[in-house]
Structure 1
Amino acid sequence: MFLSDLSIKQPVFATMLAVSLVTLGIYSYRELSVDLFPDVEIPVLTIQTLYPGASPETVEREVTKRIEEAVNTISGVRHISSTTTEGFSVIVVEFRLGTNIHTAQQDAQAKIDGIRADFPLSMEQPVVQRIDFNAMPVVSIAVESPTMDIKALSSIAEKQIKRRLENVPGVGQVNLIGLARREIQILVDRNKLKALGLTYAEVSAALRRENLDVPAGKLDQGQIEPLVRVSGKFQQVEEFRNLIVATRNGRPVFLPEVAHIVDSIEERRSASLVDERQALALDIVKQSGANTVDVADGVEAAVAQMNAEFPSHIRLRTVVDRSIFIRESVEDVQLTLIIGAALTVLIVFLFLNSWRSTVITGLALPVSVISTFIIMAALGFTLNILTLMGLSLSIGLLIDDAIVVRENIVRHMHAGADHFTAAREATAEIGLAVMATTFTIVAVFVPVAFMGGIIGKFFYEFGITVGFAVLVSLYVSFTLDPMLSSRWYDPAADPSIQRSVVGRALDRLNAQIEKLRGVVAAALGWSLSHRWAVLLLGAVAIGSSFFLFGRLGSAFMPDADPGELRVSYKADPGISLDRSIEIARSVVAEVRKNPAVRYTYTTAGGTGGQPVNEGNIYVRLKEPGIRAHFTVVKADIRERLKRFHGLRTSVGEADEHAAETKPIQISVRGADLRQVASISEELMAQMRQVRGAADIDTTEEQPRPEVRIRIDRKATGDLGLDLGGVASTVTGLVAGEVVSQFEDPDGDSYDVRLRLNREDRTSNADLLAIDLPGHGGRELVPLSQIARLEDGAAPSKIRRLDLMREVRVSANTENRSLGEVVGDIMARSAAMKIPPGYTLDLTGEYEDMMESFGYVLQSLFLAVILIYAILASQFRSFLQPLAIMFSLPLSLLGVAAMLYLASDTLNMMSMIGVILLMGLVTKNAILVIDFANVQRRAGLSRREALVSASTVRLRPILMTTLAMIFGMLPLAFELGSGAEFRAPMARAVIGGLITSTLLTLVVVPVVYTYLDDAAGILAKWWGHKPHEKSRMPVTAPIK
């Protein structure tokens, strides 16, 4: 072969090429960032709109529906979902994969701008943003102080801590949870206003006009032009006491005469707890593309510095750190890669009985792995779970070609060839077969890299990484292997020197392998004489595999033990934040009774429009060795929370923030919301009967108490009032209105809010007593004269999907696989009587699982087609590849048996393992059939050629198979953090390799004979004579 001949003749050239690859690989490795998963762009937009003070129904009618209808016309829209709460609308627009999200964002903004005139005046501008699933909180910091009140602590957190964290490289945003921001409150006394004949509007206008800095032009002084400014902003809170509201009876009325001036805090809509202690929290969101580990390191350094600088009674503590799991997972994968490499090299040493051969063969590993970092850096990949797992799984593959080439060279030298001749001829003899086996592996990973759907985006880096590494290993086996074999060969053994203990043990091992050759020859001879029995054995193996697959559960991804979980709770709508904190403390106290819990971090309310009646409790668990497994802890906490009657709780993984992330989600849609709610209640009742369904809940919220003010329009007009003025006055006094800004000496601005005293806004009677400025402000009219009140209830949250209202029923799984639970749910739901026009649609993780399984099966089919094309080209035959590919279904028995024994499910990782297996199991069959063809061309009969090929190729088959198995053992044994996520793939491959290797040696030769007979029959039918012998040069068989 050209490459091997060139390398043997030009050893310096071959060495320098390898050194260059390694050097570039090391440099590229230093440039790679570390993350948990690949950086994947998913085309999703969010449109968030604030409409302060508006009810959910009003926000839906005036904002949500209008925006949905506008953006629905954008090209590429797949789904539109929305959640509307009090004063807040969130619309999520999902586009089809491949849509240019930047163009879509511009189109969405243009559509919204086009309907801007239809929006309410008090509504804020909608914010259109791309969702970056990697730009998420990576670290959460808690700030505690046993001596400072929440207001003082909030000031330090906002002015110092937040700003310093925002300066950390890679930090994109810092969100404060539980902040008690300073606010100057002007609390109007209704009775005093009435006694002085003043209106709310007069107080509001005085505050707006008296707290101003107004530019007044400039002076012309020739050389200079100083600016003139009327400085009227208050410098101290006490100055508000001197503000004149109006004049009555010839004397000024000062603000304190009608209102209390309070230096207070804003109305809090969020709170945070560390264990059961109240604290402030800062969620640090990384920038898109930033290295999670680097950001976390920078934040930790900033926290340590601030702890050293701040007084001892202020303590900053990291409560959530996503980089911990990333570090541990990446380090553990790197460790398994090293262990796998060591075990693989050990196998080589045991079989080749030479440390020189071991070094020559083992060089393929570091060169291939390190060289792969070049393509990773060039394509912008990261060191993540999938790329490192790909390298770890491919350890056996990377040394595979080198093993086959080196073993053949050694065999030629044992037959008497000199080392130069052996290196050249042995590589040429095995070269095409090695190329075929390598290209079949690459053919498997190309479809994986280009799978459709979201799952394909994630596995793109996995497929490219492994495919490139395998190609580099092929290059090494054709260059370094023959070059080093031709020059660095084992010296002739001196029979006078006694072998060491290790040497004698290796001799005994090789003697056993030679005995095994006889066993294989005898077994194959019997098989060729009893071909129908062997075919029946193969059929039974294939049938058994499908039987076992039917007994496996199915899931989207394997369950792992991340060492953390999240408890979500949802109380009745309308409760206060203080009540929500009380509930959170009670739940935390119950959760902490589990001995596996290390600490908890709770957020009640929060950012993004989450109401105060909802909360999330992050639970950090103790080290795995001193606690129960994650699933056991979850089940125990779930059982403990059952004592909270009326509280809707959910226990899930730590990245689950709401019901939308539960694996089971069923969307109930229809025209009548009441009918939809009724169907969802019936569905929940059915789901409660299904074993394994847990945390069953619905997005249907209990109605929130509401007081409706019904205006008498005739009375309003008679008294010189209008509806807009009435609404404005009531809103300002009850909800409060920001009328000005107060700037402290540090230059920080705070809201000045005007509203009624708390005592004057607690009951319906207080509302009716609000005075309105009638007849142009000349007289005060109580609200009771023009309105009546109705107590009612209104939705606290409204969900919509694809322009229709929906109710979503969700559930977690417990002690059963996702597929089994969903299967039972769908069987029960099929018996329900669903009215026409109403639908039940499975969404969520199950939908993702079924979609991804479809893409995997497509990739598997494409891989099989590509493998056949490569083999047909290699063997110049349409039939012989079928014999080799018969080894594919034979491997399935081992896959199913291994997954069943390990209690694994059929999930994405195990299915990717099956695809990988399709390329691996053909390697052994290729070696046997290729050498059998060589022997037949050399003059041996078909039976003799098959027996000779199976025995001669037994050693490389055993070496490559054991190398791959031992290389994957560390992954299969679940060593380290997140190992349960990776293990099913390795287990599937190991199980398939075991059965395929055992059956390939006897079944594939039998199938080969049938196909060879069929070729002869077809040749007679078509009038062709079968080729007697190939006229191509043939290397004589070596025995």
Structure 2
Amino acid sequence: MNPSRLFILRPIATSLLMAAIMLAGTIAYHELPVSALPQVDYPTIQVLTFYPGAGPDVMASSVTAPLERQFGQMPGLKEMLSTSSFGSSVITLQFALELNLDVAEQEVQAAINAAATYLPRDLPNPPIYSKTNPADAPVVTLALTSDALPLTRVQDLADTRLAQKISQLPGVGLVTLSGGQKPAVRIQANPTALAAYDLGLEDLRTAVAQANVNQAKGNFEGATQAYTIDANDQLLSSDDYRSLVVAYRNGAPVRLSDVADVKDDAENVKQAAWMNDVPAVIMNIQRQPGANIIGVVDRIERLLPQLSTALPPSVKVTVLTDRTTTIRASVHDVEFSLLLTVALVVMVLFLFLRSASATIIPSVAVPLSIVGTFGVMYLLGYSLDNLSLMALTISTGFVVDDAIVMIENIARYIEDGEPPLKAALEGSAQIGFTIVSLTISLIAVLIPLLFMGDVVGRLFREFAVTLSVAILVSAIVSLTLTPMMSARLLRNRSEQGRFYRASEHVFRTVIDRYGASLGWVLERQTATLIVAAATVVGTILLYVLVPKGFFPVQDTGVILGVSAAPETISFPAMADRQRELARVILGDPAVQSLSSFIGVDGINTTANSGRVQINLKPLRERGVTASDVIRRLQPEVAAVQGITLFMQPVQDLTVEDRVSRTLYLYSIESPDPDELESWAPRLVEKLQGLPELRDVASDQQNGGLAASLAIDRDTASRLGITPQAIDDTLYDAFGQRQVSTIFTQLNQYHVVLEVKPGFQQSPDALKDLYVRASSGASVPLGSFTRLRATTAALAVNHQGQFPAVTLSFNLAPGVAL
């Protein structure tokens, strides 16, 4: 049986079939998405809860723990991490690879609803979730600046006119605004003035909350006309609040301006962001796990000019980071390598076949096999990435083998005097089974890759399938198009051209010398076997000695920096040191720009940490890799006093679900927090002594300062003062408490209550606070409490609901994991 016979005898039908394959593959090529690597992201969801003023222990016990209890019951959950810090709870949920992200989203929403009854009653906003991996660097970073408008106004414009629209784009997982400049009305009370009027902070909070409402009021319905009832029940600006009457004393009104400063400011004044060294609002856009990076960025770039027209002319939008620049360049390089490989194969074939007509056959078969593979890749949902294109590049050698085997066998019959058509029929019949068996054996080699599990399996599955498809398409082309073209293009040696005849002597000489060298080797079989055995042993030794790792470090042109300052640092001091780091980094000739931000916002989980995203110049301009830039910057940033910066290149492949200071992490967990507190520092000390490791650090931060109030419950009870009243007073004074909400058609803004900044600088200010007793009298806080200075953790970390400490480290140069 000859599978090629039908195609040899019907050249027009064969040509149309190959043209259809070429057309389908060409269309598929232009429709295939482009990415750096196959999509192997774990389904990951991040849950954020903000409770301004709550300490890490309060967040861990009252917010994080109830949520973790519900999340821990979800099927398909692979890993759960949480960090509870001052005013913030961040829970990261990573699911099994085979679980659909939308299904995981439904499970998370149901778990949040189930936990709602256990959350604090005064939680300003319910937990919010986003389908994004916090360890995945933003695909686009924008900076918004203005010389004419305050940053609060800039952030409001970014929130209402940019962030909402960008969040709606397919593939966008999370849009965050860093810098904390959301507009708000801040009421800064004077405890001394309040005491003079026999008022407390709770009186102030109640008055403000009751004075600003936005509720339904009904309507009038007459016989012929209807009226909607409205009122000026909502206060919309700081001017409206200043004249608010809080109470009456001696028949005269006590207005809010008499006991507090009222101003328009930011909702959270303990956050800041910079573009280079200029205060700015930083917009970080992250993709959903599994979304194509280039597709997401292309949609953002198409929408951004339209959205920018809605901004005032004084607001400047700057693109600081675009992750697709290096991805497009790397894919373009691989595409060029593929074309160069095909060209080299065709050139080598011409040199050895020495016939233009014979060279045309594999020159058509090789591109056709590769283009045909694009069609199957499109049907399978694959992308044009470095691994799939590498598979096609490798397949070029296999693809041309099938065509050469078929051509050589048909040429042999022609050399024996057979007409080309008969030679094609007999030669294809004889070699057809060989091509089929060769194809099956090559695909069988790739089968183990198809059954590899987890991320590595997902990563190489696309590679294996693409290579298998290319080999299979090549076999089909070699059994159809190649024999058909051979029957019409191959000629007898006597009919060959001038180049063939001129080079015949050279080929004869090469063959003769090969025969002589082969004879020499066969005469020394023992020595040959010894060399072969030595080669096997050397290969094994080299395998053992060669450094090993999961994935090579990429140079994406972006460096992520995580800054860490002493645990007792204040916000102004942290801002100064963060800006000093930025000035040092910008002095490096390889750095193009950077974005930087500090403050607890769900990305930074503690007040003593910050982020720096460094954008490098194109590689051809800087001339050094990102890793070299990091090594060059390390001694310079180390000279900045009071802060440490950990840097690592941003990678396209992210399998972790937490942001790390370094490339490698090691976690330890225990149900006993005291045991962790005892052993984690010892382990860090031992690791720091290993010469193979660098930048050893721990996320355990137990050295923060704390002012602990010991309540004399007997005295407080006698005075009619409850712990609830004490907590409310402290929260009103020092927690940036959101006491009311201003509703508009575009957004909602909070009214924030606190004491004046002068009363927030040290625990001594507690003596100026008064708590309302059941008798109505204001009682000094110090009369029934004792203040004790102590230490506290800045963050409480959990892994799988248990306390955990994560150690991070890098490897020394030349050391493999």
TM-score using structure 1 length: 0.73
* 1:142-153 correspondence runs (5 A): 142-153=143-154
* 1:165-176 correspondence runs (5 A): 165-166=166-167, 171=172, 173-176=174-177
State the distance in 2 between where 1:588 and 1:422 align: 74
- The one-letter code sitting in structure 2 at the alignment partner of 1:734 is F
**In the TM superposition, what is the alpha-carbon distance from 1:387 to its structure 2 partner?**
1.5
Contact 2:391 2:467 in 1 (8 A): yes
Contact 1:303 1:316 in 2 (8 A): no
Partner of 2:791: 793
Q: 1:619 to 1:789 in 2, by over 3 A?
A: same
State the distance in 1 between where 2:410 and 2:492 align: 15
- The percent of aligned pairs where both chains have the same amino acid is 26
State the distance in 2 between where 1:320 and 1:482 align: 53
State the distance in 1 between where 2:230 and 2:675 align: 64
Contact 1:692 1:816 in 2 (8 A): no
Contact 1:648 1:697 in 2 (8 A): no
Q: Find the residue that maps to 2:350 and give its secondary structure.
A: helix
Q: 1:448 to 1:503 in 2, by over 3 A?
A: same
Q: 1:508 to 1:140 in 2, by over 3 A?
A: farther
Within the candidate set 541, 548, 559, 1:547 is matched to 541
Contact 2:558 2:614 in 1 (8 A): yes
1:447 correspondence with 2:470: no
Partner of 2:805: 807
Q: 1:505 to 1:332 in 2, by over 3 A?
A: farther
Contact 1:618 1:654 in 2 (8 A): no
- The one-letter code sitting in structure 1 at the alignment partner of 2:558 is E
Contact 1:177 1:606 in 2 (8 A): no
**In the TM superposition, what is the alpha-carbon distance from 1:116 to its structure 2 partner?**
4.3
Q: 1:183 to 1:344 in 2, by over 3 A?
A: same
More deviation in 705-714 or 166-175?
166-175
State the distance in 2 between where 1:771 and 1:126 align: 33
Q: 1:605 to 1:334 in 2, by over 3 A?
A: farther
State the distance in 2 between where 1:402 and 1:702 align: 69
**In the TM superposition, what is the alpha-carbon distance from 1:406 to its structure 2 partner?**
1.1
State the distance in 2 between where 1:582 and 1:629 align: 29
Partner of 2:768: 769
Within the candidate set 597, 609, 627, 1:614 is matched to 609
Partner of 2:11: 11
**In the TM superposition, what is the alpha-carbon distance from 1:472 to its structure 2 partner?**
0.3
Partner of 2:141: 140
Q: 1:605 to 1:726 in 2, by over 3 A?
A: closer
Partner of 1:121: 121
Contact 2:647 2:662 in 1 (8 A): no
Greater RCO (Cα-Cα under 8 Å, separation 6 or more): 2
Partner of 2:712: 712
Contact 1:214 1:229 in 2 (8 A): no
Contact 1:214 1:230 in 2 (8 A): no
Contact 1:47 1:129 in 2 (8 A): yes
Partner of 1:833: none
Deviations 1:48-89, CA, capped at 9 Å, x for gaps: 433432221222233334444444444454443322212322
Within the candidate set 558, 563, 569, 1:564 is matched to 558
Deviations 1:686-732, CA, capped at 9 Å, x for gaps: 33343342211111214211111211111111111111122112211
Q: 1:416 to 1:24 in 2, by over 3 A?
A: same
State the distance in 1 between where 2:391 and 2:145 align: 43
**In the TM superposition, what is the alpha-carbon distance from 1:486 to its structure 2 partner?**
0.7
Deviations 1:310-329, CA, capped at 9 Å, x for gaps: 67654322110011011111
- The one-letter code sitting in structure 1 at the alignment partner of 2:767 is L
Structure 2 regions of 5+ residues with no counterpart? none
State the distance in 1 between where 2:641 and 2:509 align: 69
Contact 2:561 2:661 in 1 (8 A): no
State the distance in 1 between where 2:253 and 2:529 align: 108
Q: Find the residue that maps to 2:81 and give its secondary structure.
A: strand
Partner of 1:485: 486
State the distance in 1 between where 2:42 and 2:258 align: 59
- The one-letter code sitting in structure 1 at the alignment partner of 2:616 is L
* 1:259-658 correspondence runs (5 A): 259-286=260-287, 291-303=292-304, 314-490=315-491, 493=494, 499=498, 506-519=503-516, 522-523=519-520, 527=522, 532-605=526-599, 607-608=601-602, 610=604, 611-626=606-621, 627-644=623-640, 646-655=642-651
Q: Find the residue that maps to 2:181 and give its secondary structure.
A: coil
Partner of 1:60: 60
More deviation in 452-461 or 297-306?
297-306
- The one-letter code sitting in structure 1 at the alignment partner of 2:639 is R
Q: 1:423 to 1:251 in 2, by over 3 A?
A: same
Partner of 2:82: 82
Deviations 1:441-497, CA, capped at 9 Å, x for gaps: 2112232133111111122222111111110000000100000111223476569x8
State the distance in 2 between where 1:614 and 1:634 align: 19
State the distance in 1 between where 2:388 and 2:429 align: 33
State the distance in 1 between where 2:554 and 2:172 align: 29
Partner of 1:760: 759
Partner of 1:697: 697
- The one-letter code sitting in structure 2 at the alignment partner of 1:355 is A
- The one-letter code sitting in structure 2 at the alignment partner of 1:625 is R
* 1:918-997 correspondence runs (5 A): none
**In the TM superposition, what is the alpha-carbon distance from 1:190 to its structure 2 partner?**
1.9
Contact 1:211 1:232 in 2 (8 A): yes
Alignment: residue pair count: 810
**In the TM superposition, what is the alpha-carbon distance from 1:549 to its structure 2 partner?**
1.7
Deviations 1:847-900, CA, capped at 9 Å, x for gaps: xxxxxxxxxxxxxxxxxxxxxxxxxxxxxxxxxxxxxxxxxxxxxxxxxxxxxx
**In the TM superposition, what is the alpha-carbon distance from 1:586 to its structure 2 partner?**
1.8
Q: Find the residue that maps to 2:540 and give its secondary structure.
A: helix
Q: Find the residue that maps to 2:216 and give its secondary structure.
A: strand
- The one-letter code sitting in structure 2 at the alignment partner of 1:360 is I
State the distance in 2 between where 1:753 and 1:393 align: 63
Q: Find the residue that maps to 1:660 and give its secondary structure.
A: coil
Q: 1:44 to 1:312 in 2, by over 3 A?
A: closer
State the distance in 2 between where 1:715 and 1:293 align: 66
**In the TM superposition, what is the alpha-carbon distance from 1:137 to its structure 2 partner?**
2.5
- The one-letter code sitting in structure 2 at the alignment partner of 1:640 is E
1:188 correspondence with 2:184: no
State the distance in 2 between where 1:313 and 1:130 align: 33
- The one-letter code sitting in structure 2 at the alignment partner of 1:539 is A
Cα RMSD over matched residues?
Answer: 3.0
State the distance in 2 between where 1:162 and 1:111 align: 27
Q: Find the residue that maps to 2:546 and give its secondary structure.
A: coil
**In the TM superposition, what is the alpha-carbon distance from 1:770 to its structure 2 partner?**
0.9
State the distance in 1 between where 2:646 and 2:659 align: 8
Q: Find the residue that maps to 2:226 and give its secondary structure.
A: coil
Partner of 1:684: 684
Q: Find the residue that maps to 2:597 and give its secondary structure.
A: strand
- The one-letter code sitting in structure 2 at the alignment partner of 1:786 is F
Contact 2:50 2:127 in 1 (8 A): yes
State the distance in 1 between where 2:225 and 2:504 align: 101
Q: 1:594 to 1:65 in 2, by over 3 A?
A: same
Q: 1:255 to 1:155 in 2, by over 3 A?
A: same
